[in-house]
Structure 1
Amino acid sequence: MRIAIISDSHDHIPNLQRAVKRANQEHAELLIHCGDLISPFMLDHLRAFQGPVHLIYGNNAGDQHLIATRCTAMANILHHGFHGTLTAGPLRIALQHYPEPAHDLARSGAFDLVCCGHDHIYAVEQINECLLINPGDLLGKDAEPAFALLETSNFSVRRIVVGDKLILND
C-alpha cells in the first residue's frame, strides 16, 4: 500500500492540487493531511484524491464548524478533529499536528506509523518499532513544497516536490 502524507497546505490551492494529482498518479491508496488546511474551500481540492482522506486540524484550524460539517457530506474525507488514529491493513496509525506529542506517540509502542507537521521541516525517523514522518509543508515558505509517499511493503519513504518555493518579503 502507498500512503501520501501531506501537511501545512495553508490555503495554497495550486500546491494542494498538484499534491493530490501526483498522489493519484503514484497510486496512493490513502491520503493523510496532518493539519493547517485552513479554509473550508480547500476541501473541494482535497476530495479529488481517489481514495480515503484522513484530516486533522492544526494550529491554524480555520472555520472548524464549517470544515467538520462539510467533511461529513464528503464521502472520502474523514475528519478526526485535532488528532486521530486509524488502521490501514495491519498498520496502526496516529495523526498529530505537533512534532513533540508525535514523538511521544511514536515512543508509546501503540503505533506503527505516526504522522505530524507544524514546523514545515521534512523528517523521517525510526523510533523503536514506529516510523515517524513529518512531510514538511505544501505552502513552500522556506523549502520546496512537497509531501511524503510511504510504501508500506518495505517502509520506504520518498519526498515528492510539487511546486515552486513561495517567496515572502520579510
Structure 2
Amino acid sequence: MKICIVSDSHDRRDLLLAAVTEAKSLGAEVVLHCGDVCAPTALRPLQKLGLPVHVIHGNNMGDTYLMFMLSQEPDSVIHYHGMDAGLDLGGKRVFLVHYPHYAEALALTGDWDIVCCGHDHHPAITTVDNTKQGQTLILNPGTIAGLGPCASYILGDLETMQFEIRTVPGTEHR
C-alpha cells in the first residue's frame, strides 16, 4: 500500500491538492495529514480525488467543529481524529502526531512501525532504535505550504518500507 504524508498545509489548498494529485498518480491509496490544516475548507478539494484522508489538528487548530462536520458529510473522504491517531494500514502500525518531540518519544516505545509528524517545517526521514530491540521510522514531510526550506510531502510504500521526500509540483524553483 502506497501512502501520501503531508503536514502544515496552512490553508494552501492549491499546494495540498497538487501534492495529493501527484501522489495519487504515483499509486497512493491513502493520505495522512499531520496537522496545521487551519481552515478545514482547505481539505474540501481533496474530496474529488476519492482517497481516504486521515487528519489531526496540530497547534493551528482552526475550526475543530467545522473539521468534524466536514468529516460527517455524506461520502466524505475526511477522517478527523483530533489531536493524534493510531492507524493500522497495510499491515503496519502508524501513529500521527503533530510535534516531532512527541513523535520521537512514541517511536522509542516500539509500539509503532512508523510515527508521522510535522510542525517544524523540515522534511526528514529518520530511523530510531526502540526499546523493543527493533527500529521505528519517523517521517516528517515538512510543510506542504512551502513555509520552510521547500514545499514538500512524503510518498511511501508500506510493503517495502521505502519512503521519499518529494517537492510539490510547481514549486521546484521558488
Tell me the TM-score normalized by structure 1: 0.92
The alignment covers a number of residue pairs equal to: 167
Within the alignment, does 1:137 sit opposite 2:156 as a pair?
Answer: no
Q: Is the 8 A contact 1:20 1:48 kept in 2?
A: no
d(CA) in 2 for partners of 1:2, 1:77? 18
CA distance, structure 1, for counterparts of residue 38 and residue 48 of structure 2: 17
What do residues 87-107 of structure 1 show as CA deviations (whole Å, max 9, x unaligned)?
Answer: 013101100000001101101
Deviation at 1:8, TM superposition (A): 0.3
Cα deviation 1:33-68 (Å, max 9, x = unaligned): 000011021121232343211000010010111111
Distance 2:44 2:173 in 1: 22
Which secondary structure does the structure 2 equivalent of 1:141 belong to? coil
Once structures 1 and 2 are overlaid, which stretch shifts more, 52-61 or 67-76? 67-76
CA–CA separation in structure 2 for the residues paired with 1:141 and 1:165: 14
SS of match in other structure, 2:35: coil
Q: Mapping of 1:1-170 within 5 angstroms?
A: 1-73=1-73, 74-128=75-129, 129-162=135-168, 163-164=170-171
CA RMSD of aligned residues (A): 1.6
Counterpart CA distance in 1 for 2:173 and 2:102 is: 28
Change (3 A) 1:48 1:54: same
Contact 1:92/1:112 (CA < 8 Å) preserved in 2?
yes
| One-letter amino acid matched to 1:109 | G
Report the Cα distance in structure 2 between the residues aligned to 1:95 and 1:105, rounded to whole angstroms: 10
In the aligned structure 2, how far is the partner of 1:48 from the partner of 1:158? Answer: 25
CA distance in 2, matches of 1:48, 1:136: 24
Mind listing any 5+ residue stretches in structure 2 that lack a counterpart?
A: 130-134
Q: 2-side partners of 1:149 and 1:37: how far apart?
A: 19
Task: Give the letter for the 1:42 counterpart.
Answer: A
The separation in 2 between residues aligned to 1:165 and 1:8, in whole angstroms, is 18
Q: Work out the percentage of aligned pairs sharing the same amino acid.
A: 37
Runs of 4+ that moved beyond 4 A: none
Q: Where does structure 1 lack aligned partners over 5 or more consecutive residues? A: none
2: distance between equivalents of 1:45 and 1:30? 15
Look up the equivalent residue of 1:144 and give its one-letter code.
Answer: C
